[in-house]
Amino acid sequence: MKLVLIVGSVTPPGRLSGAVRWLRDTAQATYQSAAELIDLADKRLSFADGRPPASFQDDTAAVVASVHAADAVIIATPVYRGSITGALKNLLDHLPVEALASKPVGIIAMGATPHHFLGADWHLRDILAWFGALVMPTSVYLTSADFVEGRLVDSARQDLTALLDAAVKLTALAAPGNFLGPPPFAARR
């Protein structure tokens, strides 16, 4: 299984990035799976303007290809203004429908307080439904309380591990191009 984990923030690596790196390492150790971390802080993606990714002279084509080649994807985003980051939305705007169609996708969001725990989740679910992705029924929401001295607390590690386990189980059931229901409207061209 090839897992791609995306950190959808362009700020310097912080707690969310550390949590996703921990999850990548856990996936590699527990499932002996290829797990690639795409941290948007380390990548240069062009503004999505309708051109094919290969036409850009930066990391856009390689990032799109990695997501397309994944068996499962976990997307992590800080909550910005009650939603996902613009950088993450830009990446999602570059992806063709086939990149996430019928593919297991997990969501991790992080905010300063528990008050915004559904903002990023709802917006990502709307976007992922357009692709026909198989989104995990529940997501992980992290706050400052989930870290002590920069390290994840046990309950946060358990939640992240449960999300990873669900992605692995769903990947075993899903087959590329086989939708659990009708194909998404976006794929009916």
DSSP H or E stretch at residue 4:
strand 2-7
Write the CATH number for 173: 3.40.50.360
Q: Where are the beta strands (DSSP E) in 11-166?
A: 34-39, 72-78, 104-110, 134-135, 140-142, 147-148, 151-152
Note the pLDDT tens digit of each residue in 128-140.
999 999 999 999 9
Residue 91 lies in a domain: yes
Count of domains forming the chain: 1
Owning domain of residue 63: 2-177
Residue 186 lies in a domain: no
- Burial call 89-107: b when 16+ CB within 10 Å, e when fewer: bbbbebbebebbbbbbbbb
Residue 183 lies in a domain: no
Residue 185 lies in a domain: no
> Do 140 and 167 form a contact (C-beta atoms < 8 A)?
no
Residue 16 lies in a domain: yes
Residue 164 lies in a domain: yes
Predicted pLDDT of residue 93? 97
Global model pTM greater than 0.85: yes
Note the pLDDT tens digit of each residue in 24-67.
999 999 988 899 999 999 999 999 999 999 999 999 999 999 99
